[in-house]
Every structure is written in C-alpha cells, then in structure tokens.
Structure 1
Amino acid sequence: MMSWELLLWLLALCVLILPLVQLLRFLRADADLTLLWAEWQGRRPEWELTDMVVWVTGASSGIGEELAFQLSKLGVSLVLSARRVQELERVKRRCLENSNLKEKEILVLPLDLTDTSSHEAATKAVLQEFGKIDILVNNSGRSQRSLVLETNLDVFKELINLNYLGTVSLTKCVLPHMVERKQGKIVTVNSIAGIASVPLSSGYCASKHALRGFFNALQCELIKYPGITFCNVYPGPVQSDIVKNALTEEVTKPMKNDIDQSYKMPTSRCVQLMLISMANDLKEVWISDHPVLLGAYVWQYMPTWALWLTSKLGKKRIQNFKDGLDPDLSYILQKTKKD
C-alpha cells in the first residue's frame, strides 16, 4: 500500500515540476522553442552546409558580415553582395584570414538591391563563376526611426523598394535556377517587427510584414518542389549597424550614431542560430532575448491585448527616441523597470 502511495506522490510531483522546468527553459530562451530543440537535437551546420555556394546580400556589415564569416569556416563558396565595395573586400579578407578558403572561393559582387534591372545580370555572374546557387540569403535592408506624421513619403517608398521589392526581384531571378535543379534554399532575414509592429518604424514594419506574406505564399506555390526550402528568420534587437543606418524623416537625413547597443543580442549568437535553422530546414524562426521574444508570442496568440500593450509602451518608446536613446522595445521595458 505504501509503495502505491509513494508512486502516486512521485507522479504528482512530476506533474508539478515539469511545467516549472519548461517555464524556466522558456524564461531563459533566446529563440523559439522549435529552434532551440533543433540546436539541442538537430542536424549540425558543419554536416549540412559544407561545399555549398551561398550568396549573401547585405554582407558588408552586421548580420550579413558575421554570416559570411561563420559560413567561411564551414568550407562554403561565398558570394558577397552590398553597395559598399571596400567593405565587401574587407569582409572577404576577414573570411580568408580565418578559414581555409581560397581567393577564388569568395566572389565580391557589388549589388544595389533597389536597382532591380541589375539583378538578372548579377545572377548570371554568380552562375558563371560557380555554376550553381545552393543558398540565397536575403539579408539586405534598412530600418527606420521616425514618426509617421513627420516622415516624407519618399522614406516609405525607399523602404518598400529596398526591403521588399528588391528582395522579391532578386529571389525571382534566382528561383528559376533552383527550380531547374529542383533544389535550393531561400533564407530571408525578416524581423520581429514583421510580426509585432512598433511605433517609429511604421514603414520598416510594413516592408517586413510584406515579406512575410510574400514568402509564406511562395512556399505554398512551390510545394511540388520539396527540394526547394524556405527559411524566414525573425531576429529581435541585434548588435549591428541597422540603427545607425536607419532612415529618418527624410531619405537624406542621417541617424544619430551614439546609441548604445551593448544590451542587444551579440551578432555571433544570432548567426549561430540562423545556421542551425538553415541546416534543419526550419520554415520560420524567431531569434531574440526576452522580453521581445515574449512579445512575439503575445502578438501571435493575443493580438488585441498585444496591440493595447504596445500602444502603452509606445509612449515610452517615442519619448526615448526624442531623448536620443535607443527606442527598441527591449530597452523600453528595461528602462520602465528601472523607472
């Protein structure tokens, strides 16, 4: 009798402890749970991505540069694209110095994503150089820090042309090659702002929401090509130049450069998780520390409450912006707690 009572007590204890363990895991998470499971039990990038040809746009800094750097250590052939040729050459040197790649295995290909007429020729140049494109990483893009009522319409056009239409155009140029081979990966760096909109970034959020809609529809259209996979990556605040290079009220008006970003996720960690996503063919991944990660879940499952909460926090975000502070949502919550 005592043994049965003990067994029941142990079962009851497990029922109580397991949810607490899962809660603790979630509170310490820096990505969605599917991605973290893949990091623990899934396929490794060094097994799956070696010997591939990877084309990275926006490779001159931030996530794009770090992605090129980590990919170079996996033995892939790289195509580095952005507008700043000197920065691309710097990234190439960094990759060569820290890997076993040879000069001919990294192609610097300058590209203005808003010049859609150049995308076909760029695609042909890559195919001529390497004969194939295994992975296209759509990483180019710019953010925004300005209020709608104070922002010129040209800023919204620039964001749509670069973040959305430029990405769509390059994808359409690369896809026929992948369809012909019946294999390939399209990785698109979106943003948590493509799930949970925030004030001061209305044009940026709109462009990222557009990308989410486009690639979700495209995946359905290409379902008959199981060898062509899509991975949509949604990072939260990451240490990069995206805030420094953000558009403001006017296309030509620069952003302040003295914003502290030390509290954000290190770029190396973000890219590490991206590579795991690519190796495991995950369709959509969220990469962020809390509280932004929690905010994405709230937007997903309680959108009305999330919109109310965002509106309340938006006042603090806007005030931080006017005070010259980084208005990112995670920073607002940290400041709110301190206040």
Structure 2
Amino acid sequence: MNQTVIWITGATSGIGEAVFREYNKLDFKLIISGRNSDKLDSLKGESKNPENVHVLPLDLTNPESFPNKVSEAIKAFGRVDILLNNGGISQRSLIIDTSPEVDRRIIEVNFFGTIGLSKTLLPHFIENKNGHFAVVSSLVGKFGSPYRSSYAASKHALHGFFDTLRAEYYKENIAVTMICPGFIRTSVSLNALTGDGTPLQEMDDAQEKGMSPEVCAKKIVEAISKRKEEVNIGGKEIYAVALKRFFPLIFSRLIQTAKVR
C-alpha cells in the first residue's frame, strides 16, 4: 500500500473527483476537501479502502479556518506529502458586463484561497524537508481568452506565486507542479459565474467535446509522480501556448475569433 498522503481540494466534482478516483485505485492515503460534505462522505463510502480516506470539508473563502484545517489534515495520517490545489471557480462573461464583486470573488477563491491554504501548510513541508504543491491552473493561466478575464488573471497570478515558491524553497526539497488543463469534459462551464454572479448553467461546446476527466486525471497523476514543473493537458488547444510564445501576433488574431464558448 502506498503510504504517500495526498490532500485534494475541490474533490467533489470534475477534475478533482477524477484525480481522487485515480489515486484511490492506487491505494494512496487521501484527504479530500470541498464544500459539499455529503458528496465527500459519499466518495469515501464508495472508495476502495475507506480507512485510507479522510473527509475534510473546506471553504476556500474562509481563510480563518485554514490553520485548523491544516492541523486536522496533518493529524489524519501523521503528515501531508502532496497538496493538490484544485478548488476554484470559472467565469463566462465579457469584461464590460462583469461586476467588480464577481471579479473579487473569482480572485478570492482561485488565488487568495489557494495561496492562503498553501502558505499555511508550507511550514509543515519545510519542517519535513519534503513536500509537493500541485496546482491546477489552466491554459488561460498562460494566455488570456474572451469571457474569462478575471479567471485568466487569477490563474496567471498562481503561476507567478508558485514559480517564486519553487525558487525560494528548492533547498527544502519542496516541489511545485503547475497543471494547465484545456477543454476537459466537466461541469466547470455550468457552474461558471456570469457578469452578475449567477451560474451560467450551460455547457460550452468546446468543453463538451473536450478530453474526459478520467484521461486528464491519469495525466495529472503521472505529472505529479514525475515531479514535473509544468504540464499542459488537453487536445489541440494546448498548441496555443507555443503559438503565443513564438508567433504572438498570429495568436492575438486567432484568439479574437476563436470559439471558446
């Protein structure tokens, strides 16, 4: 039985749930977090070895709870080896239609919630001289895209923060893997915030035709096991990263008319 302890946020749906199921098949010790306690309990009940799954409800917009949550996570199995920061919220609205409150909510969850939890766990990693932050960003953490202004901004910010963390704490054997999915067939667009903060409740065409979360999860697990610094996951959309880097003007023209909804 694999004794590595992995803490997964945003574990109740989509990529997080798929990664949980993949690790569960491999007999890892798992801590699963999210806001839906009933779904967390259900995942634990369905798991291969429920005794190796610890349910830890978590709200990324409540930073005051992070010290107690980290303490409980460490206590569950004696330590945490990997934190998979997967919790977040997406967006589908034009800049002109997006209220400042929605901008702040997206940044609060995706950026401040993620770095706040990670900073609270960081001393544990430093003390153990070992740790691994895996962060689910997005391809739009590498470039901007219509209808995702604050979402893209929050993901860009994660890259800046965790690139710095990697550089500062490599001597403590702390690794960072930035995970950049493209179109993955999940409910992310259904739950994405519109300009007034209500969920879109529609499936994007591109999302519906995207990679399955199960295939995405396998690629994430592989990237983490190899301690890769960064991985792009998806279909042909992943080539947009190289296109922007080497042919920025062509990329700029293409993204203006790309079908991203």
TM-score (norm 2): 0.96
Letter in 2 for 1:300: R
Residue 100 of structure 2, aligned match among 149, 153, 156: 153
Letter in 1 for 2:213: T
How many angstroms does 1:175 deviate by?
0.9
Q: Does 1:112 align with 2:64?
A: no
Residue 227 of structure 2, aligned match among 281, 288, 297: 281
Q: Which position in structure 1 is the counterpart of 2:214?
A: 268
Residue 186 of structure 2, aligned match among 219, 240, 243: 240
Q: Which position in structure 2 is the counterpart of 1:23?
A: none
Q: Does 1:309 align with 2:254?
A: yes
How many angstroms does 1:259 deviate by?
4.7
Residue 13 of structure 2, aligned match among 61, 65, 73: 61
Runs of 5+ unmatched residues, structure 1? 1-48, 318-326, 329-339
Superposed CA deviations along residues 141-192 of structure 1, whole A, max 9, x for unmatched, are 1110001111110010001100000000000011100100000111000000
Aligned length: 260
Q: Which position in structure 1 is the counterpart of 2:196?
A: 250
8 Å contact 2:61–2:108 — kept in the other structure?
yes
Letter in 1 for 2:240: G
Letter in 2 for 1:302: F
CA distance in 1, matches of 2:127, 2:246: 39
Identity %: 33
CA distance in 1, matches of 2:139, 2:124: 30
Residue 125 of structure 2, aligned match among 171, 178, 182: 178
Residue 79 of structure 1, aligned match among 20, 28, 31: 31
CA distance in 1, matches of 2:5, 2:153: 31
Letter in 1 for 2:84: V
How many angstroms does 1:58 deviate by?
0.1
Flag the 1:61–1:158 CA change in 2: closer, same or farther, 3 A.
same
8 Å contact 2:137–2:181 — kept in the other structure?
yes
CA distance in 2, matches of 1:71, 1:274: 10
Q: Which position in structure 2 is the counterpart of 1:162?
A: 109
CA distance in 2, matches of 1:197, 1:76: 36
CA distance in 2, matches of 1:220, 1:258: 38
Secondary structure of 2:189's aligned partner:
coil
Residue 142 of structure 2, aligned match among 192, 195, 219: 195
Superposed CA deviations along residues 269-326 of structure 1, whole A, max 9, x for unmatched, are 1110111101111001101101x1111210122223312221243xxx4xxxxxxxxx
Secondary structure of 1:243's aligned partner:
helix
Secondary structure of 2:215's aligned partner:
helix
Superposed CA deviations along residues 37-69 of structure 1, whole A, max 9, x for unmatched, are xxxxxxxxxxxx922111000000000001111
Structure whose CA Rg is larger = 1
8 Å contact 2:86–2:136 — kept in the other structure?
yes
Secondary structure of 2:201's aligned partner:
coil
Q: Does 1:51 align with 2:3?
A: yes
Q: CA RMSD in A?
A: 1.4
Superposed CA deviations along residues 188-232 of structure 1, whole A, max 9, x for unmatched, are 00000101210110010000000011111111111222x211110
CA distance in 1, matches of 2:121, 2:113: 13
CA distance in 2, matches of 1:259, 1:199: 13
How many angstroms does 1:257 deviate by?
3.4
CA distance in 1, matches of 2:2, 2:19: 14
Superposed CA deviations along residues 62-106 of structure 1, whole A, max 9, x for unmatched, are 000011111011111111100011111222223x2xx2x2x3321
CA distance in 2, matches of 1:203, 1:175: 26
How many angstroms does 1:262 deviate by?
3.7
CA distance in 2, matches of 1:247, 1:58: 17
